[in-house]
Amino acid sequence: APQLPRYTRAEVAQHRTPKDRVWVTYGTDVFDVTEFVELHPGGPDKILLAAGGALEPFWALYAVHSQPHVLELLRDYKVGELSPEDAAAPPPGDTADPFAGDPPRHPALRVNSLKPFNAEPPPELLTQSFLTPNELFFTRNHLPVPAVEPGSYRLRVEGPGGRALSLSLSELRQRFPKHEVTATLQCAGNRRSEMSRVRPVKGLSWDIGAISTARWGGARLRDVLLAAGVRDNTGDGEWHVCFEGLDVDASGTPYGASIPLKRALSAEAEVLLAYEMNGRELPRDHGFPVRVVVPGVVGARSVKWLRSVAVSPSESPSHWQQNDYKGFCPSVDWDSVDFGAAPAIQELPVQSAITEPRPGAAVPAGELTVKGYAWSGGGREVVRVSGAKGGEGKMGWGEREWREMGWGKGDGGKWE
């Protein structure tokens, strides 16, 4: 057989559009799949997400590809092989960098900030499945990802009157019944890039993907608090439950946030100390080994890499509770803002967005399938999803979960 040319990964990376030709790698083989893009059963937009790089991270998520006929099809497009140097693993990162210990990430994520890592799934993958695959779940980090040794991990839980518990990971798993809940997390900054088109705003320029859904498993916060001596009638007035993470800034101050004690103790609110995400242990970016999950509430309160839980008459003193994640009326600007006077965001309002087609996309004439998500906020049920002129979307998969969990997706609705 004739010797095929050798290419470096950098050369492959130059082929990302049909105009420059669409190249991908699989193992150490290089393929030019330009002619297949329009024929792809999963759609041309999805195949282009892998253009210029490796197929494996994508195919690992979509098992339809692990069939012999898919590999056979790919073989027809082979144009070369990777250079021997590039077939080997990439060089290790810089160890002086506080973010050098951050975990590897999926290449499909749209990165809004690398250090700290903030990224969202592309819209067309967000509505590919009801539960967002862990690898694609949006990530919102404020600090480097802590490296936690599960064997020596301890969670400190402070109840009233100085009573405290120190729980190992196995104690958390064994002493408390495992509870599972399907819940959506959304960052307060979701869709900020669209707000900026109306009036410039500060902050990460999230598109519509700072929202994701998972099946979380863990101990109920309620059960753990009761074991620490907290009673339903603890204190007069509004008490709070303060959380701290193991991620710290240069001065050693951790990420922190709080929720009202009433929500923490409510059986209905289903607040979790989660150690599982979609049936697997938490990924490092999402809080390994334990995180808080507060359904229906702004993502900022679902503290990751949880190190302490404390019941307190006041909210968390953390910067992120006091001077960030607050809502203001439209007349307030950065000169007149008074963070101390505004309440911290807890529940978020109704949210919905169209994931396909994307703005500006050319679409064929005739009937059109529109995909998107709808979320009710506050853990409430979605009652209806309507199109721009009032036509109602037919709810697709997830209808049952949608009714139960207050989270819906319109898939295939004819919106006129």
Which residues would be at the binding site for ligand MTE (CB under 6 A)? Answer: 137-143, 185, 187, 245, 247, 255, 286, 299-300, 302-305
CA distance 120 to 126: 9
User: Residue 66 interacts with ligand HEM (CB under 6 A)?
Assistant: no
For ligand HEM, the nearest residue by Cβ is 42
End-to-end CA distance of the chain: 56
Using the rule CB under 6 A, give the single segment among 11-19, 69-77, 88-96, 347-355 that binds ligand HEM: 69-77
CA distance 240 to 264: 8
User: Residue 16 interacts with ligand HEM (CB under 6 A)?
Assistant: no
Exactly one of 65, 106, 140, 286 binds ligand HEM (CB under 6 A); that residue is 65
Is omega for the bond preceding 116 within 30 degrees of 0, making it cis? Answer: yes
Of these partners, ligand HEM, ligand MTE, none, which one is at the site of residue 185 (CB under 5 to 8 Å by kind)?
Answer: ligand MTE
Least separation in angstroms between CB 353 and ligand MTE: 16
Least separation in angstroms between CB 117 and ligand MTE: 9
Residue 35, number of CB atoms within 10 A of its CB: 12
Structural tokens at position 384: 């209806």
Exactly one of 9, 16, 29, 49 binds ligand HEM (CB under 6 A); that residue is 49
User: Residue 58 interacts with ligand HEM (CB under 6 A)?
Assistant: yes
User: Residue 46 interacts with ligand HEM (CB under 6 A)?
Assistant: yes
Chain centroid to CA 189: 13
Indicate the residue among 245 and 379 with the shorter CB distance to ligand MTE: 245
Least separation in angstroms between CB 13 and ligand HEM: 15
Using the rule CB under 6 A, give the single segment among 38-46, 215-223, 234-242, 328-336 that binds ligand HEM: 38-46
Question: Within a 13 Å sphere around the CA of 199, how many CA atoms are in the beta-carbon half?
Answer: 5
User: Residue 50 interacts with ligand HEM (CB under 6 A)?
Assistant: yes
Indicate the residue among 126 and 169 with the shorter CB distance to ligand HEM: 126
Structural tokens at position 399: 């209808």
Burial (CB count <10 Å: 0-12, 13-18, 19+), residue 298: buried
Chain centroid to CA 103: 15
Using the rule CB under 6 A, give the single segment among 58-66, 94-102, 245-253, 295-303 that binds ligand HEM: 58-66
> Residue 214's beta-bridge partner residues?
183
Using the rule CB under 6 A, give the single segment among 42-50, 169-177, 299-307, 353-361 that binds ligand HEM: 42-50
Exactly one of 5, 42, 104, 327 binds ligand HEM (CB under 6 A); that residue is 42
Vertex 373 angle, CA 306 and 16, to 5°: 90
CA distance 356 to 372: 7
Indicate the residue among 80 and 254 with the shorter CB distance to ligand HEM: 80
Where b means 16+ CB within 10 Å and e means fewer, 390-410 reads eeebebbebeebbeebbbbbb
Ramachandran region of residue 402, left (φ > 0), alpha (ψ -120 to 50) or beta? alpha
Q: Which residues lie below 8 Å from residue 10, measured CB to CB, with a gap of 6+?
A: none
User: Residue 23 interacts with ligand HEM (CB under 6 A)?
Assistant: no
User: Residue 54 interacts with ligand HEM (CB under 6 A)?
Assistant: no
The residue type found at 287 is G
Q: Which residues are catalytic?
A: 40, 65, 140, 187, 325
User: Residue 132 interacts with ligand HEM (CB under 6 A)?
Assistant: no
Least separation in angstroms between CB 130 and ligand MTE: 17
CA distance 384 to 389: 14
Binding to ligand HEM in span 109-128, by CB under 6 A: 128
Exactly one of 9, 13, 29, 74 binds ligand HEM (CB under 6 A); that residue is 74
User: Residue 41 interacts with ligand HEM (CB under 6 A)?
Assistant: yes
Ramachandran region of residue 366, left (φ > 0), alpha (ψ -120 to 50) or beta? left
Indicate the residue among 112 and 302 with the shorter CB distance to ligand MTE: 302
CA distance 165 to 157: 5
The residue among 108, 121, 128 whose CA lies nearest residue 58 is: 108
Write out the residues near ligand HEM by the rule CB under 6 A. Answer: 24, 33, 36, 40-42, 46-47, 49-50, 55, 58, 62, 64-65, 67, 70, 73-74, 128
